[in-house]
C-alpha cells in the first residue's frame, strides 16, 4: 500500500517528536503530522479499506448497470453514481493522507505533568466561571459530544504544553476564550 508510519515509541523519540511538535506545529501546515494512537490508526485504515475495496466496487457495478440502460445524457442514475464515486474517492484520498502523515503515539511515554496528547484536561472559563473537560486525542478518536477533541483543533493546540494553574488564551472563530487549567489526568 506504500503508507509510511512514523513511530514515536521510545521515550527519547517521543521527547524529540514532542519538542518538534511544540516548536514547529504552529508554523507548519496543519496536515504535516497527524498524532494518533495505534487504535485510531487501525480504525481509519479499516474505514479506508472498506471504502476502497467494498464500497467502490459496488458503485462501479451500479455505474455499469446504469450505463447499460442506454442514453447517458438523460440517465440520472448514471450521473448520480458517478458523483458518488467522485465523493467516495475524495474521502479515500483524505483518509490515505491522514494515514501517510500519521505519528503513532504511545500514551505511556508522554510526560504526565503537562497537557499533551491523550490528556484529559479540566479547565475553568475565566469569563463565565464554567468548568469544562476535554480529552486531547488524535485523528480517528475524536468525539465532540463526549469532549474528545483533536490536538490540532484551536482549543487542543492552545492547551498543549500547559501545566496546572496556567492561563491560556485561545483564538476561536467567535473571539477569544480565556481558560485556566485546573486538572490534568491521563
User: What integer is the mean pLDDT of 10-31?
Assistant: 46
> Do residues 11 and 90 share a domain?
yes
Please check whether residues 88 and 15 belong to one and the same domain. Answer: yes
Assess whether pLDDT exceeds 70 at residue 64.
Answer: yes
| Residues 114 and 99 reside in one and the same domain | no
pLDDT score of 94: 92
Same domain, yes or no, for 151 and 181? Answer: yes
With the CA atoms of 134, 25, 36 and 51 taken in that order, what torsion angle do they form, in degrees rounded to the nearest 10?
Answer: 110
Which of 10-19, 76-85, 164-173 has the least mean pLDDT?
A: 10-19
Last residue of a domain, one of 50, 85, 105: 105
Q: Is residue 21 part of a domain?
A: yes
167-170-176 Cα angle (round to 5): 105
Within this chain, do residues 15 and 94 fall inside the same structural domain, yes or no? Answer: yes
Angstrom distance (rounded) from CA 110 to CA 113? 9
Q: Which three cell numbers stand for residue 104?
A: 503513532
Q: Domain tally for the chain?
A: 2
Q: Between 15 and 121, whose confidence is greater?
A: 121
**pLDDT at site 121:** 95
Q: Which of these, 106, 100, 87, lies nearest to 31 by C-alpha position?
A: 100
Greatest extent of the chain over all pairs of C-alpha atoms, in Å:
69
What is the mean pLDDT of the segment spanning 148-170? 91
What pLDDT, on the 0 to 100 scale, is given for residue 37?
82
What are the residues facing 131 on neighbouring strands? 124
Phi, psi of 112, deg, nearest 5: -95, -5
**Strand 102-105, strand 34-36: pairing:** parallel
Q: Which of 105, 130, 150 is at the close of a domain?
A: 105
Pair (84, 152) in one structural domain: no
Using pLDDT thresholds of 50, 70 and 90, give the confidence band for residue 57: very high
When pLDDT is cut at 50, 70 and 90, the band that residue 1 belongs to is: very low
Q: Tell me: do 95 and 115 sit in the same domain.
A: no
pLDDT of residue 22: 46
Across the chain, what does the average pLDDT equal? Answer: 82
CA dihedral 106→141→36→95, nearest 10 degrees, is 150
Q: Copy the grid coordinates of residue 176.
A: 477569544
CA distances from 77 to 52, 63, 91, 173 (A): 21, 8, 21, 40
For residue 17, what pLDDT is reported? 53
Q: Are residues 70 and 127 in the same domain?
A: no
pLDDT band at 13 (very low <50, low <70, confident <90, very high): low
What is the average per-residue pLDDT within 51-66? Answer: 93
Is the pLDDT assigned to residue 119 strictly greater than 60?
yes
Strand order in the sheet with 102-105: 6-8, 102-105, 34-36
- The answer to whether residue 1 sits within a structural domain is no
Residue 171 lies in a domain: yes
Shared domain check, 143 and 72:
no
Chosen domain end from 67, 88, 105? 105
Domain residues for the domain of 99 are 6-105
Amino acid at each position: 500500500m506504500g503508507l509510511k508510519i512514523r513511530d514515536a515509541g521510545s521515550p527519547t523519540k517521543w521527547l524529540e517528536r514532542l519538542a518538534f511538535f511544540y516548536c514547529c506545529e504552529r508554523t507548519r501546515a496543519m496536515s504535516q503530522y497527524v498524532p494518533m494512537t495505534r487504535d485510531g490508526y487501525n480504525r481509519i485504515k479499516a474505514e479506508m479499506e472498506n471504502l476502497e475495496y467494498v464500497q467502490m466496487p459496488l458503485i462501479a457495478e451500479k455505474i455499469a448497470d446504469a450505463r447499460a440502460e442506454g442514453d447517458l445524457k438523460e440517465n440520472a442514475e448514471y450521473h448520480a453514481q458517478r458523483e458518488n464515486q467522485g465523493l467516495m474517492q475524495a474521502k479515500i484520498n483524505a483518509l490515505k493522507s491522514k494515514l501517510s502523515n500519521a505519528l503513532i503515539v504511545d500514551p505511556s511515554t508522554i510526560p504526565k505533568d503537562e497537557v499533551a496528547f491523550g490528556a484529559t484536561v479540566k479547565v475553568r472559563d475565566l469569563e463565565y466561571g464554567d468548568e469544562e473537560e476535554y480529552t486531547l486525542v488524535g485523528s480517528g478518536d475524536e468525539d465532540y459530544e463526549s469532549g474528545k477533541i483533536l490536538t490540532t483543533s484551536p482549543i487542543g493546540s492552545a492547551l498543549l504544553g500547559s501545566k496546572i494553574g496556567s492561563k491560556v488564551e485561545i483564538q476561536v472563530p467567535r473571539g477569544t476564550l480565556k481558560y485556566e487549567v485546573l486538572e490534568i489526568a491521563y
